[in-house]
Amino acid sequence: MKLRTLTVLSLSILIFAGAGCKKKPPVTPPAPTPQPALQERQGPPTVISFTAEPSTVLRGESSTLRWNVMGATEITIDNGVGTVEATGTRRITPAGNTTYGLVAKGPGGTANASVQVVVNTPPPPPPPAPPPATPTKTLQERLSTDVQDVYFDYDKSEIREDARATLHRDIEGLRAILRDFPNAVINVEGHCDERGSAEYNLGLGDRRATSAKEFLTQAGVPGDRLRTISYGKEKPQCTESTESCWQKNRRVHFSAQ
């Protein structure tokens, strides 16, 4: 350092002396660059490093600022970090994208550095998942999808073999429905085809509803939640005078009250 200063001085003297001696036309010497000399003497602080780790966080997570500065007398970091030591770390939890600025002041000047912390905001959550299918269906809808009609022979109220199978399937459906609708009482409707007399069919429809109810209660479906009601031939679901239509009407149907 000192050597270099001496050399510069010697060279300057030689050049001046030489010019004077040789009497050569004067050559404009390059302007001296004083800065290096100044820097050598009073250089600004040097920011060796200023980082954020990690530089990308999710909102709510924190990042660590890490810095190393030389030759500074005062170091400040904005965004609320404040005055810090020359070397250090600081945990920060920015709310949004933030550029942290570091200002290092020293006798020789000021040095700046900045680092950005990118805060990723997660996308909004999907709308709440639709609640499970069961509660949205009405009692009537559940009955029409989960419980099937039970069919009978003409002028009979005995449970046929196929009706037995149907009722076995209905047990599960009815149990689930009664569980999901704890206050519901389900109508067990007895229906008849058009051929018997209307008055007799009132009694026959009642027998069919009662047979179905007895079957279900013996299988554990609570009897006080089932109400038998005979419609005789007052509410046919099919009005043609054919055997297939009559069969459709000789039924027990489950309905909401």
Partner 1 sequence: MRTTLTTLLLVCAAWAQQSDILIKLEGGTKRVIAAPDFRGAGGAQPLAATFNQTVFEDLQQSGLLSMAAKSFYPLDPPQQASDLRAPAPPAPARRNAPPAPANCNGRCLIDWSGPPVNANYLAFGYAAEQNGQFVAFGHLFNVNVADLSGAQVFRKLYLASLDEAGARKAAHEFAADILAQFGAKTLAGTSIYFVSDRGGRGTKDIWAMDFDGGNPRRITSYNSISTTPAVSADGTKLAFTTYAKGEPRIFIHLLETNRYLPFLNPRASMNATPEFTPDGKSLLFSSTLTGYAQIYIADIDGGNMRRLSSSRAIEVEPKVNPKTGAEIVFVSGRSGPQQIYKMNMDGADVVRLTTGEGEAGNPGWHPDGQHIAFAWTRGYAPGNWNIFIMDVASRETVQLTYGQGRNENPTWAPDGRHLVFSSNRSGRSQIYSMLANGQELRQLTTAGNNWMPVWSK
Region of 54-62, 114-122, 158-166, 192-200 interacting with partner 1 (CB under 8 A): 192-200
Strand order of the β-sheet with 56-58 is 56-58, 109-120, 98-106, 74-77, 82-84
Tell me which of 101, 203, 238, 255 binds partner 1, using CB under 8 A: 203
Q: Which residue has the tokens 């036309």?
A: 25
Give whole-number Cα distances, 243 to 56, 113, 164, 253, in Å. 77, 94, 21, 19
199 makes contact with partner 1 (CB under 8 A): yes
247 makes contact with partner 1 (CB under 8 A): no
> Phi and psi for 133 in degrees, rounded to 5?
-55, -35
185 makes contact with partner 1 (CB under 8 A): no
Give the integer Cα–Cα distance in Å for 173 and 220.
12
Give the integer Cα–Cα distance in Å for 44 and 73.
10
Give the integer Cα–Cα distance in Å for 96 and 98.
6
202 makes contact with partner 1 (CB under 8 A): yes
The CB-of-124 to partner 1 minimum distance in angstroms stands at 50
Where in 146-175 is the site for partner 1 (CB under 8 A)? Answer: 154-155
Give the integer Cα–Cα distance in Å for 69 and 135.
65
209 makes contact with partner 1 (CB under 8 A): yes
Residue closer to partner 1 by CB (options 160, 195) is: 195
Binding mask 108-127 for partner 1 (x = CB under 8 A): --------------------
- In sequence order, the β-bridge partners of residue 105 are 74, 110
Q: Which residue has the tokens 């179905």?
A: 212
207 makes contact with partner 1 (CB under 8 A): yes
Residue closer to partner 1 by CB (options 106, 196) is: 196
Residue closer to partner 1 by CB (options 138, 241) is: 241
Task: Quickly count: other Cβ atoms within 10 Å of residue 95's Cβ.
Answer: 9
Applying CB under 8 A, the residues found at the interface with partner 1 are 154-155, 193-200, 202-204, 206-207, 209-210, 227-231, 234-235, 241, 257
